[in-house]
Structure 1
Amino acid sequence: MTYVNLAGRTAVVTGAASGIGAAIATVFAANGARVALLARRSDRIAELAEKLKDNGGQAIAVTADVTSDESVTAAAEAIHAAFGRVDLVVNNAGVMIPDDITTASFDDWRKMLDTNVTGVLRVIRAFTPDLTADGHADLVNISSIAAHEFFKDYAVYGATKAAVTYLSKSLRAELGPKGVRVTNIEPGLVRSELRDAITGDAGAFLDSWIAEAGILAAEDLADLVAYATSRPAHVNLRHLVALPTTQL
C-alpha cells in the first residue's frame, strides 16, 4: 500500500531489529521516508538498513540502548548529523517478562520499567525539540491492550503499558497545540520475538491462547502506524486498539 504523505519525512523507530519495529521501518522507507533504525543489536539493524537501501530507501542503523541516557543522546546526535531534523518518532522498543507477582525477579521488573517507561521518556526527551520545531510532526507510542485488560502474570508489564497509554494522552494535550500529533497504539496478540523469550508454563499458556484467539502479523501493525502518520496534518488518530478479530 502507498502512503504518499510519508515521502520526505525523517523517522526514528526504536526496537527496529525485529518484529513490529522492523516492519514499521520497512513500510516507512518503502514510502519515501528517511529512517533511523535504533536497537541494541547492531548486526540486525545494519542488515535491515542495507536491505532497505537496496530496495531504494534511505536508512541508517544507529546502535542504541533506550535504558541509557548517554546512548540515547549519542543516537540523537548521530541521526541529526545524518538526516537533520526528525519529524516522526515511533517508540516501539519494549520488554515483556510475565511472572507471578509473589515470585517475580526485581531485576525483571526494573528491566521492564526502564525499557517500557523510562526508555520511552528518554527518546521523547531527545526528540521533542525536533518534533515541535516546525508545526507538524508525529509521536507514536506502542502500548498494549494489557494497559487496561487483565492477563494472569502480566501485572507489571501491564502497568508499564498503562503508563505509556496515560503518557500519550497527557502529551497530546501538551504537544498537540504545537502541531505534534500523538498516537497511542494498543496491540493485542502480535507475532514478534517477545514470544520467543517466554518459556515454561507462561509460554504454554501463550501458545494455547494464540491457537484460540489468533495473532496479527507485525506488518499489520506497521500498516496501521503508516496509515495514522500519513493522514492530513489536521487529523490525529490519537488512540488505536488493534486485535485479531477472534481475540476477545
Structure 2
Amino acid sequence: MTYDLNNRTAVVTGAASGIGAEIALVLARSGAKVALLARRAERLAELAAKIEAEGGRALAVSADVTGDLTPAVEAVHAAFGRVDLVVNNAGVMLANPITAGRDDEWRRMIDTNVTGLLTVTRAFTDDLVGAGRDGVADLVNISSVGAHGTFPTYAVYAATKAAVTHLSANLRTEFGPLGVRVTNVEPGLVTSELGDHMDNPEVDAHLAAWREQVPPLHPADIGDVIGFVTSRPKHVNLRQLVVLPTVQV
C-alpha cells in the first residue's frame, strides 16, 4: 500500500536490506524523499536506483551509525534540505550464551542498537524539532518483541531492545511537547538478514527450526506499518506497536 507522505523528507538507517529497505520503498512510493543510510554502498545505490526508476527520489549515503555522521548529515541537507522523518532501523543480533563471554558481540550490539540510535537521533534533532514546529515530524525506532521476553542465548540483544523500547517512551516525553511524534515498533519474527551474522551453529539451528514452526512476516509488512504510522494526522501519535505473525505467541 501507499500513503500520503508528499513533501516529507525521510532518513532510514539500515536501509541496505530487509526491513530498512522495505521501509524506504514504502516511504518513497508514498511521495517522500528518502535518504538511505547504511554501510554497504553498493546495496544502497541499487535501492536508490530502484526508487528513482519508479519515479521516486532517493539518496544513497554510505555511513556507519556508530561513527561520525557529520558528512552524512551534510549530504542529506545538501540534497533534500531539512529532515522531518527519521527511522532508526539499523541493528544487529548476535546470540551466544553469556558463559561464552563474547564481549566483542556485546559491544557491537550496544554500539549499534543503542548508541547508534542515539547518535542518529542527535544528528537530526534540530531538523525534527523545527519540522514539528512548522508541521509534522516523526521519530520511529525499530525495537523488537525481544524487549519483553526472555530468550536463552539472546540476553544482550534482548537487553539492547528493551533499552530502545524504554528510551522511546522517555524520548516521547521530551519530543512530544515540541511537536515531534515518537513511535516504537516491535516486530516479531521477520524474514531478514538479522540472524545471518551469528556464528553459533546450535543457535542457528534453533532459529531455523523456529522459522519452520512460525512462518515469519515479510519485511514489507513492517514497511507498511511505518507508512501507516507516519501518515496519520499531526495530532495523532501511535506510540507503541507490536507486529507479529498471527501464529506467533
Range into which the TM-score falls when normalised by the shorter chain: over 0.9
> Which position in structure 2 is the counterpart of 1:11?
10
Question: Are 2:109 and 1:112 aligned?
Answer: yes
> Which position in structure 2 is the counterpart of 1:177?
177
Structure 2 contact 36–44 (Cα < 8 Å) conserved: yes
Distance 1:104 1:24 in 2: 35
Distance 1:222 1:26 in 2: 8
Distance 1:222 1:51 in 2: 16
C-alpha distance after superposition, 1:46-84 (max 9, x if no partner)? 11101100110000000000111x2x1211111011100
Offset of residue 210 of structure 1? 1.2
Structure 2 contact 16–47 (Cα < 8 Å) conserved: yes
Offset of residue 118 of structure 1? 0.2
Distance 2:2 2:226 in 1: 13
Is the partner of 1:43 in helix, strand or coil? helix
C-alpha distance after superposition, 1:154-184 (max 9, x if no partner)? 0000000011001100010100011100000
Question: Are 2:217 and 1:216 aligned?
Answer: yes
Question: Are 2:19 and 1:20 aligned?
Answer: yes
The code of the aligned residue for 2:77 comes to H
The code of the aligned residue for 1:164 comes to V
> Which position in structure 1 is the counterpart of 2:53?
54
> Which position in structure 1 is the counterpart of 2:37?
38
> Which position in structure 2 is the counterpart of 1:149?
149
Offset of residue 198 of structure 1? 3.1
Give the total of aligned pairs: 245
The code of the aligned residue for 1:209 comes to W
Offset of residue 104 of structure 1? 3.5
Distance 1:224 1:144 in 2: 14
Q: What is the aligned counterpart of 2:120 among 98, 119, 123?
A: 123
Is the partner of 1:133 in helix, strand or coil? helix
Is the partner of 2:157 in helix, strand or coil? helix
Structure 2 contact 2–227 (Cα < 8 Å) conserved: no
Offset of residue 195 of structure 1? 2.4
Query: Over aligned residues, Cα RMSD in angstroms?
Result: 0.8
Distance 2:196 2:95 in 1: 12
C-alpha distance after superposition, 1:18-69 (max 9, x if no partner)? 000000000111111000000000000011101100110000000000111x
Gaps of 5+ in 1: none
> Which position in structure 2 is the counterpart of 1:233?
234
**Runs of at least 4 residues of structure 1 off by over 3 A?**
none
Q: Among the aligned pairs, what percent are the same residue?
A: 62
Distance 1:48 1:221 in 2: 17
Distance 1:162 1:73 in 2: 28
Alignment of 1:179-194 (within 5 A): 179-194=179-194
